[in-house]
Each structure stands twice: as structure tokens, then as C-alpha cells.
Copies of this chain bind each other. A is one copy, B any other.
Amino acid sequence: MDVSEIMDGLGRNARDAASELALCPTSQRDKALATAAKSIRDRSATILAANEVDVAAAEKRGLRASMLDRLALDSERVEAMAAGLEVVIELPDPLGRVLAEWDRPNGLHIQRIAVPLGVIGIIYESRPNVTADAAALCLKSGNAAILRGGSESFHSSRSILESLADGLDAANIHPAAIQMVPTTDRAAVGYMLSSMGDTIDVVVPRGGKNLIARVQQEARVPVIGHLEGICHVYLHESANAEMARDIVLNAKMRRTGICGAAETVLVDRSAADRLVPDIVAALNEAGCEVRGDENVRQIASGVNAADEEDWHTEYLDAIISMKVVDDLDQAVEHIRSYGSGHTESIVAEDQDAAEKFLGDVDSAIVLHNASTQYADGGEFGMGAEIGIATGRIHARGPVGAEQLTSYKYVVRGSGQVRP
């Protein structure tokens, strides 16, 4: 079979499964998740063996250490996957929520009710636990999932999928509710993006620049996009010095490789002398390279020169850029020019300044006096997330089970006809 036949088959089966799944009560979906969690624990040794095949192949191909770390499972990570499914079970049912309701003067009663999106295609890279996370969120929200993981994690994902299949089976849910693309052929990604508009309702891509570029080039199906996170921390002149230092340090260094990590610090000119030296010292001590503009370099030692390219760069590494701005408006303007609309934070004691920043900055997440690393579905209390959407359509910010729903209007009448 060629890729188009394989993918069309997956699509048709997913569509059938989605129709059934939309009518499954939450108890049935939760039962599948509970059984899958148990099965992951039971099959732990098998999953780890499959993962070893992937890791060995990746080592042979010389995958770099950070990628190997994402790929490798151990018994703790397998347990975390199972526990992750149990967190999703505890989430409130995202389906059937009455999002709004009202009466019309003619007696019609109108309700807007949450329903599944339908079939969701998920394209991701090396981390095999995404297989479990994404499938669980789709199932919880009544959507059929077509998963397309990275080829490096193919055996791991296939093995994890067996446990999810156990769950569907135990709950008597259509086996195509969770499917995995059974080939590592890269053409499958293109086919999913361009030719499955009839069977896939939305694609959620999760990955690096190559994948994002491909999605922007090829996608003809709706996409919930995840672009890069060029996140800013802005230190207002009223910032508390200790809080400013702690937030910058955490926003950059807690984990440097996530999309909510800060990449640029903006500091008010009037507070630069007071704030910058201490923060640069703390960053350097934590092993972070600081790249500053002329003003920053005049105030503090241990700062390399930043150039125009730095303001555009998502380092995803222990590097941060730092710039002096005249005032809040200039900070907002810098963020508008160089940011990616992901997450920005202001550190300020002045409430009016904070409110102005929160209002004027048009990013998915804006924070006052808190680290940008809170940009996370779990930290938001959503239980789990499939990613942080940077587009403006449908969902923005953390995408959890609730964001994987659409709605329909239910209208109850007593014989009304329109005049």
C-alpha cells in the first residue's frame, strides 16, 4: 500500500470512530483511560524494551544528547506516563458543558453546548510520552486521534499504543479512536497536512522549526499552531530588585529548553543601574551567558555584545539577551516587533504600569510579577496540555481537553415558524 492508501484508511476509520466516540459518556472514556494506565504499568518491561531499540538506533545515528534524553524512557518515566493518564481522568468532562443559554422573545430557548472537534491529527517529534498524553487528552474530549510521532520513537510509541488499545477494548470503544500512522515515511506528514481535509478536522503540530516551516508551507487543513516562544521579562522602574532577579533567573534557567523560557530581558533606563549588575551576576553564576546592548554592557561586566539577530532568537539554551528601554511603551513596542506572541511578564510594584502592560501586550499569556515558566497547561490547572498555541484562531495559550472541543447550538421550540 502506498502512503495515500494507508492514510485514507486511517482517516475513514477515525471518522467512524469519532461518530461513535461523540456519543460515549464520560464514564466510558474514563474507563478506557484507567485501563490504559494499568496496562502501561503492566507492560512496562515491554515498553522499555521497545524504547531500547529506538535508543540504540538513535545512538548509532549519532543523535545529540538532548534529543537522546527526550527519547529515552526509564521505569520512572513509564510510571509518570501512567500517572498522567490518571490526571486526565480526574479532569471535569469537557463535553456537554452548557457554554451559554438564553431565551428569545418568540419563546425559542437556545443553548450552546460543547461537543468534540472530531478527528485530530497530531504531529510530534521524539518524546514518546507525547503518544500517551496526546491520546489521553483527545479521548477525554471525545475526539478520535491520528498520531504521527517522530521516526526515532517509532517502536516506543507503537508499544505505548498497545496499552491505549487495551483501554479502548476494555471500555468497548471503537479501536480506531486512537490510531498511529504505521509508517515512518515522511510523506505521511505531508499527506496529513494537505490531503485529509475530509477526514481530519484539525492538525496539532508539535515540534521544532523544520516541522513548523513545513506546516506553514503545506497545511490545507485547519491547524492549531505552536510557533516558537520568544518570551520577554520586562523590569519596570518600580520593580522590586530581589523579585526581579528571582523571576529573571527562574524564567531563563529553571529549564532553558521549553517554549516558555525567557529569551530577552528589557529594563527601564531609570532602574538599570539598580537592577542590572545583580541580575547579570546571578545569571553568570548560574552558568548563563548574557548578551546585552551597549547600555547594559556599560553598567555590568560579564556581558557579551548582542546584535540585531539576538532580539529575534529563541535560544532554548543558557543564553539570554538584555536591553535597556526608555519606558513601558518602548518595552511594549520591542515586544510587538520581536516577540512571538507567546508569553511575556512585567515585574513592577506600580499597579497602573502593570495593568497597562497586561492590556497593551498582545500575547497569548501576559503575567505580572511571575515567571514566564508558568506558561504551562499543568501550571494553569488544566491537568495536561497538548501544547501552547500561538495562533489566534480557536485556541490560544495552553491547549487542554477543554480547548479540544467545538460546540453546537441546541434550540428548543414549540412550533415556531419564522415570519
- Which A positions have Cβ atoms within 8 angstroms of B? 19, 22-23, 102, 104, 108, 110, 115, 117-118, 197, 201-202, 216-217, 219-220, 222-224, 240, 243, 246-247, 249-251, 254, 336, 354, 358-360, 362-371, 373-374, 376, 379-381, 391-394, 396-397, 406-418
Given A197-B216, A363-B408, are A369 and B104 also a contact pair (CB < 8 Å)?
Answer: no
Expressed in whole angstroms, the minimum distance between the Cβ of A335 and any Cβ of chain B is 12
Contact A411 B201 (CB under 8 A): no
CA–CA, A167 and B411, complex, Å: 37
Contact A108 B415 (CB under 8 A): no
Contact A23 B412 (CB under 8 A): no
Contacts of A19 in B (CB 8 A): 336, 362
Contact A374 B222 (CB under 8 A): no
Contacts of A413 in B (CB 8 A): 367-370, 374
A-B contact pairs, 9 of them (CB 8 A): A108-B374, A117-B392, A217-B220, A219-B220, A247-B417, A254-B417, A358-B410, A363-B408, A366-B411
Contact A110 B380 (CB under 8 A): yes
A-B pairs, top 8 by smallest CB distance, nearest first, are A370-B413, A250-B417, A394-B394, A392-B406, A373-B418, A243-B415, A367-B411, A370-B416
Contact B412 A369 (CB under 8 A): yes
Given A219-B220, A360-B23, are A240 and B415 also a contact pair (CB < 8 Å)?
Answer: yes
Contact A247 B415 (CB under 8 A): yes
Q: By DSSP majority rule, is chain A's interface helix, strand, loop, or mixed?
A: mixed
Contacts of A370 in B (CB 8 A): 108, 411-413, 415-417
CA–CA, A197 and B358, complex, Å: 26
Additional A-B contact list (4), CB under 8 Å, known A197-B216, A393-B393: A219-B220, A247-B415, A371-B417, A397-B407
Contacts of A367 in B (CB 8 A): 411-413
CA–CA, A243 and B413, complex, Å: 11
Expressed in whole angstroms, the minimum distance between the Cβ of A104 and any Cβ of chain B is 6
Expressed in whole angstroms, the minimum distance between the Cβ of A217 and any Cβ of chain B is 8
Contacts of A410 in B (CB 8 A): 358, 366
CA–CA, A374 and B410, complex, Å: 12
Expressed in whole angstroms, the minimum distance between the Cβ of A338 and any Cβ of chain B is 14
Residue of B at shortest CB range from A341?
B408
Contact A368 B412 (CB under 8 A): yes
Contacts of A394 in B (CB 8 A): 393-394
Contact B409 A369 (CB under 8 A): no
Best-buried of A380, A393, A397 by chain B (most CB within 10 Å)? A393
Contacts of A368 in B (CB 8 A): 411-413
Best-buried of A22, A217, A360, A396 by chain B (most CB within 10 Å)? A396
